[in-house]
A = this chain, B = another copy of it.
Amino acid sequence: MILHGYWRSGTSYRTRIALNLKGLTYAQAGVDLRTGAQRSDAFRALNPQGLVPALEVGPEQGGPVVLTQSPAILEWLEEAFPTPPLLPAAPADRARVRAMAAVIGCDIHPLNNLRVLTALRTTFGADQAAVDAWAASWIAPGFTALEALVARDGGDWCFGDAPTLADCYLIPQAYSAARFGVAMDAWPRLAAIVARAEGHPAFAAAHPDRQPDAGPAA
Contacts and interface: CB of A to CB of B under 8 A. Distances in A.
Contact of A107 (B51, B91, B141): B51
A69 B94 contact: no
Contacts of A40: none
A102 B62 contact: no
B145 A49 contact: yes
B110 A92 contact: no
A60 B62 CA distance: 38
A72 B102 contact: yes
Interface stretch (A123-131, A179-187, A202-210): A123-131
B92 A76 contact: yes
Contact of A124 (B98, B101, B124): B124
A137 interface: yes
Given A106-B106, A124-B126, A94 B71 contact: no
Contacts of A106: 69, 71, 105-106, 109-110
Interface residues of A, number: 49
B71 A102 contact: yes
This chain's copy number in the assembly: 2
A62 B94 CA distance: 12
Contacts of A92: 57, 62-63, 65, 67, 76
A77 to B, nearest CB: 9
Most buried by B among A65, A72, A95, A97: A95
A103 interface: yes
A116 interface: yes
A46 interface: no
Contacts of A101: 72
A120 B124 contact: yes
A156 interface: no
B79 A99 contact: no
The 6 closest A-B pairs by CB, nearest first: A72-B98, A110-B110, A69-B102, A49-B145, A124-B124, A69-B99
